[in-house]
Amino acid sequence: MNIYEIAELAGVSIATVSRVINDSPLVSEKTKLRVRRVMEENDYTPNVFARGLGLNSMKTIGLVCPDVADNYMARAVACLERDLREYGYNCILYCSGYAWEDRRIAVRTILQKRIDALVVIGSSYADDDPDAERVEYIREAAKQVPVFLINGYIRGENIFCALCSDYEAAYSAASELLRSGRRKILFLSDSHSYSANQKRSGYEAALREAGVPVREDLVIYTRNRIDSVRDLLLEMPQLDADAVFATEDGLAAGVLKYAKRRGAAVPKDLAIIGYNNSELAVCCDPELSSVDSRVDRLCKIVIDSLKLRLNGKPVNDRVYVKGCLIRRMTTDF
């Protein structure tokens, strides 16, 4: 019986077996027990090679995101790669797409590259239920290396999450619109991701607290493309809204294009708030009010946590960063 056979029987990597042999803090107690049980059942005695195998860090971090063309994810990847390089780490990037099976395959594939840790970018990898079976592949990955999730939450051993408090940020933005006299606020989103659902919950909570009914006709989902948003709204007989809260700046920019085509004054006739405070927010005319989701801060938290974890030190499994509304010319408060 050799280390390769032990790893196969235990359902872990060779490096994980080596870490168990050396009692590494990077392996969960549950995994240690499983590997040790397999070793005992097969009378396996580790040799010097097994003790050393996989312990030398490759100084490589795996990054996975759905689409690097997305502004938020591009900013996160750029920030992570720059700062990790300063600390002597290389990065391997895999763009998975949004389909569940493609995300699962991407994580499985990048784990084969002998990485020291995995950073997963974007809330599409999470789930409203942090124990959901659909995120089991992330928990399986965490049995091999520490997993860090940006802007989503998954409960599990060796999983560490840094996320913007999207519920509170959306609640605050919608409340500002309500206090300014707006009563017909359109919620515009491009997905049903963990983050998008948190934003919708915050938006709805603000409306209920103000005694304003949540209208299903004022909740619209569409592609995060400026022209798609513009054309969709133009096809509607009439947009019965006096404000828009969009979950992405690209969506909000599409609303601006629509307003210009319709001759609606912004923000007098239609107030608009975007999300992520991206370059699009300042490229628009007028410039967009937008919630800053603090992506640079989230990346810094992940990098600091990653360094601690790889050195065997404790790390918080969940850290929230407060988003803030940047007021520009598309709101009048």
Tell which wins on pLDDT, 203 or 156.
203
CA distance 24 to 143: 13
Q: Would you say the pTM of this structure is higher than 0.85?
A: no
| C-alpha closest to that of 169 among 134, 217, 202, 211 | 202
pLDDT value of position 313: 85
Round the average pLDDT of the chain to a whole number and report it: 91
What is the residue extent of each domain of the chain? Answer: 3-52, 60-164+294-322, 166-293
CA distance 330 to 333: 10
- Are 10 and 38 contacting, i.e. CB atoms less than 8 angstroms apart? yes
User: Quick one: pLDDT band at residue 19, thresholds 50, 70, 90?
Assistant: confident
Fold of 166-293: Rossmann fold (3.40.50)
CA distances from 227 to 249, 256, 276 (A): 13, 11, 19
pLDDT value of position 120: 97
Share of the chain above pLDDT 90, in %: 71
Per residue in 104-153, pLDDT (tens digit) is 999 999 998 878 899 999 988 987 676 678 899 999 999 889 999 999 99
The H helix count followed by the E strand count for the chain is 13, 12
Pairing of strands 90-95, 185-189: unpaired
Show Cβ contacts of residue 148 under 8 Å, excluding neighbours closer than 6 positions: 117, 118, 119, 120, 159, 160, 161, 162, 302, 305, 306
Mean pLDDT of 34-45: 88
**Equal CATH topology for 3-52 and 166-293:** no
DSSP class of residue 128 equals S
Show Cβ contacts of residue 42 under 8 Å, excluding neighbours closer than 6 positions: 1, 5, 6, 9
Burial, 12: exposed, middle or buried (Cβ in 10 Å; 0-12, 13-18, 19+)? buried
Per residue in 289-315, pLDDT (tens digit) is 999 999 999 999 999 999 888 877 889
Choose the weakest-confidence range: 42-56, 114-128, 176-190, 277-291.
Answer: 42-56
- What CATH homologous superfamily does 60-164+294-322 map to? Response regulator (3.40.50.2300)
Residue 270 confidence (pLDDT) above 70: yes
User: Quick one: pLDDT band at residue 57, thresholds 50, 70, 90?
Assistant: low
Residue 274 confidence (pLDDT) above 50: yes
Per residue in 210-252, pLDDT (tens digit) is 999 999 999 999 999 999 999 999 999 889 999 999 999 999 9
User: Quick one: pLDDT band at residue 3, thresholds 50, 70, 90?
Assistant: confident
User: Quick one: pLDDT band at residue 49, thresholds 50, 70, 90?
Assistant: very low
The upper half-sphere exposure of residue 78, i.e. CA atoms within 13 Å in the direction of its Cβ, equals: 10
Burial, 124: exposed, middle or buried (Cβ in 10 Å; 0-12, 13-18, 19+)? buried
- What CATH homologous superfamily does 3-52 map to? lambda repressor-like DNA-binding domains (1.10.260.40)
- Are 289 and 272 contacting, i.e. CB atoms less than 8 angstroms apart? yes
